[in-house]
Each structure stands twice: as C-alpha cells, then as structure tokens.
Amino acid sequence: MAVYTDVTEPDLSAFLGLYDLGRLLSYKGIAEGVENSNFLLRCDAGTFILTLYEKRVARGDLPFFVGLMEHLSARGLSCPLPVANGAGETLGELAGRPAAIFTFLEGMWTRRPSADQCREVGAAMARMHRDAADFPIPRPNALSVAAWRPLFEACDGRADEVRPGLGETIQAELDHLEANWPTDLPAGVIHADLFPDNVFFLGGELSGLIDFYFACNDFLAYDLAIALCAWCFEPDGSFNATKGAKMLGGYAGVRPLTPAEIEALPLLARGAAMRFCLTRLYDWLNTPDGSFVTKKDPVEYLRKLLFHQRVRSVAEYGVPAERLTS
Ligand SMILES: Nc1ncnc2c1ncn2[C@@H]1O[C@H](COP(=O)(O)OP(=O)(O)OP(=O)(O)O)[C@@H](O)[C@H]1O
Ligand SMILES: N[C@@H](CCO)C(=O)O
C-alpha cells in the first residue's frame, strides 16, 4: 500500500483551513500506488484526493506535474485538477511533505483491458499529446536511454539473481539501444507511465487519466510504445495483435504518425520494455522482503523485450503502416 506518511486530524484540518472546501468529514489512506501517499478526503464541498509527495519525487518537478494537470484540465482532458487554496496556491506543505489536493475522478481501472478500451486509450493519449503541445514548462525525461545503463549498473551485477542470463541480455540490448536510439522524432510532453492502473473507465467509457508523475518531454511515439507494452500483452505473455491494432489505430485517428515514427516503433517498444524491466529490477533487488510495497516482476518486461526484438515492422503489431499515416 502507499501511505508512507501519517497525517493527524488536527494537522489536516489546519491545512484544509487554507482552502474553501468546508469542514473535514472523513479521510482515509489509499492502498494503491507506490510513489506517493494518497488519501481520500470527504469535505462539505465533496470528495477529493490529498497527495503527499514522498522522496522519489523531486520538489523542483512539482510545478511541472501540477501545472500540467491544470493545463490539460483547462483543455478539457479528464484528469485530476489541482485545487487552489484561498491564496490561489495549489502546492502546500503538510506533515513535513509537499502536499496538494485534487478533484476526485469517478471510475475504476481495468485489470483485463478489452480491445475497445485499448483503442480509447490510444485516442486519449493522442489528445493528451495535442493538448499538452503548448505547455510551457520543460522537463527532460530522467528515465530515457541515457539513464538505463546507470540504472543497470546500480543493480550491482545482481540481475542473474532474478533470472540466469538476464545481465547478459540487458548488456547486449543496452548496446543496441544506445547505438540506434532515434534523435529526431516528433517530441512533446508525454505521460510516460500510461499503464492500465492509470486510466479510469466508467460505464464502459474512458473517464480519465491519472498519475502524471513520470510525465516529461520525449518522443511522442515513445509514449505509444510504452502503452503498447502495458496494454496489449495477455497474461500468458502473448502479444494480442487485435489490441495492438486498436491502440495504434485509436492514436493515429487523432494524431496520424509520421513514416519515421512508424519505422521506429519496434525499437521504441524495445526501449520501453527495457525501461520498465530495469526500474522493476532495481526495485526488486532493493525493496526489503516484508515491505508493504508490492514488487513488480522484471521478467514480465524481459519477455516483452524479447518479443519486440523479433518484430521487423509495425504490421506485426496488427496494423499496416499505411493505416497509421494521414
Ligand atoms: N484524482 C483521483 N481520483 C480518484 N482516485 C484517485 C485520484 N488520484 C489517485 N487516485 C487513487 O489513488 C491511487 C494511487 O494514485 P497514483 O497512481 O497517482 O499514486 P502513485 O503513488 O503516484 O502511484 P504509482 O505507483 O502508480 O506511480 C490510484 O490507483 C487511485 O485509486
Ligand atoms: N507502471 C510501472 C510502475 C509505476 O510507475 C510498472 O508497472 O513498472
């Protein structure tokens, strides 16, 4: 679960006193999530989410994250809207942590996404890319190709404890990715973690996107590659080309891809699989047994990586290239 910091009722009531939300009626910690502490708040004014930012989130990045959610909400994208206090500020401090209150999004995330949901996610991502295009604050991707080898080295040669041969596979793949990573694809603000647990559906329709705490500037098609990894594989490890086709088609229906993006997609997907394999590997090796944080399996992303290594063209994701361009 993710409630790292306890909040006392007097402290919370004092914090809420800065806002125009009425009295605190109740609050409780939310078990899901890994990075920050989240609480469900009920006040006279309604239901809200209180987030306390923990140490893995750099304070200097908070204006980017909170500002981006404000920017996207103002463009009509459904995502948590930071609530301003009486002084017009959206970021404050509570229990010694930076803290913010957000509007509550109705809906639930889906553990078994359907092909139609993959299409909706593709389309929502493209709208997000379009709506964020004029967001003025830059944030370079701290987890892009240049960060992967240092992350692997921080695993101290222990990858084979997770699976024999894993270290060698990662080394070889890093050599390939570093030598071939594209340099000039269309870029902008990406979500960078648009996994099923960060997309809510309500009554069969996509109701919103959450968790913008990896958002950054990078290649737009890299975001799509991440989503392809996160949404289009089945629990048995097989790639579902119907879901792949819907995801890519949903995206391209809003923002057609360039020929260079289409050609780069299998490589970007290898990079995406590597990024999540490495962060999971690092956490796997460095999270103490018995910790209340659920460790995610790095080998799931090794398998996805091996799949993408065999892909020669976007058609193998289920859709011919000509259907993705304008
Ligand atoms: N605005 C919101 N409306 C409704 N529920 C929310 C909202 N924000 C967060 N939640 C709930 O809190 C949970 C954790 O939120 P979030 O994923 O942002 O946390 P995190 O610690 O940053 O997670 P992660 O480990 O995925 O990076 C979500 O799964 C969701 O249940
Ligand atoms: N989505 C990430 C974890 C949180 O960002 C993963 O599944 O590894």
Segment 69-127, tens digit of pLDDT: 999 999 999 999 999 999 999 999 999 999 999 999 999 999 999 999 999 999 999 99
Domain-located, residue 108: no
pLDDT in tens, 186-215: 999 999 999 999 999 998 899 999 999 999
Q: What is the DSSP letter of 209?
A: E
Ligand in nearest proximity to the CA of 51 = 1
Closest to 189 in 3D by CA, of 140, 129, 141: 129
Helices vs strands, H then E, count in the chain: 10, 9
| Residues 48 and 121 grouped into a single domain | no
The whole model's pTM is what?
A: 0.96
Q: What domain range includes position 157?
A: 115-323
Tokens 């009295």 sit on residue: 23
In ligand 2, the atom with minimum distance to the C-alpha of 195 is 1
Q: Is the Cβ atom of 27 under 6 angstroms away from ligand 1?
A: no
Domain boundary among 47, 69, 103: 103
Ligand in nearest proximity to the CA of 35 = 1
Mean pLDDT of 153-177: 97
Distance 263 CA to ligand 2 centre (A): 26
Q: Read off the tokens for 241.
A: 């080309």
Ligand in nearest proximity to the CA of 194 = 2
| Residues 120 and 83 grouped into a single domain | no
| Residues 143 and 270 grouped into a single domain | yes
What is the Cα–Cα distance from 85 to 37, expressed in whole angstroms? Answer: 20
Closest to 117 in 3D by CA, of 232, 226, 266: 232
What is the Cα–Cα distance from 92 to 89, expressed in whole angstroms? Answer: 7
ipTM here: 0.93
Three-class secondary structure of residue 40 per DSSP? strand
Give Cβ neighbours of residue 238 (< 8 Å, ≥ 6 apart).
none
Q: Is the pLDDT of residue 292 over 70?
A: no
What is the Cα–Cα distance from 109 to 220, expressed in whole angstroms? Answer: 23
CATH assignment of the domain containing 99: 3.30.200.20
Domain-located, residue 109: no
Mean pLDDT of 173-184: 98
Q: Is the Cβ atom of 295 under 6 angstroms away from ligand 2?
A: no
Atom 8 (ligand 2) nearest CA: 276
Q: What is the DSSP letter of 233?
A: B
CA distances from 229 to 238, 274, 276 (A): 11, 10, 10
pLDDT in tens, 119-156: 999 999 999 999 999 999 999 999 999 999 999 999 99
Atom 19 (ligand 1) nearest CA: 33
What is the Cα–Cα distance from 62 to 313, expressed in whole angstroms? Answer: 38
What is the Cα–Cα distance from 169 to 166, expressed in whole angstroms? Answer: 5
Residue to mutate, 53, 210, 295, ligand 1, most ligand atoms under 8 Å from C-beta: 210
| Residues 49 and 153 grouped into a single domain | no
Three-class secondary structure of residue 27 per DSSP? strand
Domain boundary among 77, 103, 129: 103
Tokens 């063209």 sit on residue: 313
Atom 15 (ligand 1) nearest CA: 33
Residue 94: beta bridge partners? Answer: 97
The strand order across the sheet containing 24-29 reads 24-29, 37-43, 46-52, 97-103, 92-94
In ligand 1, the atom with minimum distance to the C-alpha of 104 is 3
Distance 276 CA to ligand 2 centre (A): 7
| Residues 96 and 124 grouped into a single domain | no
Domain-located, residue 206: yes
CATH assignment of the domain containing 269: 3.90.1200.10
Distance 169 CA to ligand 1 centre (A): 33
| Residues 74 and 217 grouped into a single domain | no
Q: Is the Cβ atom of 34 under 6 angstroms away from ligand 1?
A: yes
Closest to 214 in 3D by CA, of 47, 77, 33, 39: 33
Overall domain count for the chain = 2
Report the b/e string of 137-176 with b at 16+ CB within 10 A.
eebebebbbeebbebbeebeeebeebeeebbebbeebbee
Q: Is the Cβ atom of 195 under 6 angstroms away from ligand 2?
A: yes
What is the Cα–Cα distance from 39 to 51, expressed in whole angstroms? Answer: 7
| Residues 196 and 318 grouped into a single domain | yes
Residue to mutate, 35, 151, 211, 279, ligand 2, most ligand atoms under 8 Å from C-beta: 279
Domain boundary among 103, 135, 170: 103
| Residues 179 and 83 grouped into a single domain | no
| Residues 155 and 73 grouped into a single domain | no
Distance 33 CA to ligand 2 centre (A): 9
Distance 210 CA to ligand 1 centre (A): 6
Atom 30 (ligand 1) nearest CA: 32
Q: What is the pLDDT of residue 33?
A: 73
What is the Cα–Cα distance from 37 to 57, expressed in whole angstroms? Answer: 11
CA distances from 193 to 9, 28, 41, 97, 229 (A): 33, 25, 25, 23, 11
Q: What is the DSSP letter of 211?
A: -
| Residues 298 and 180 grouped into a single domain | yes
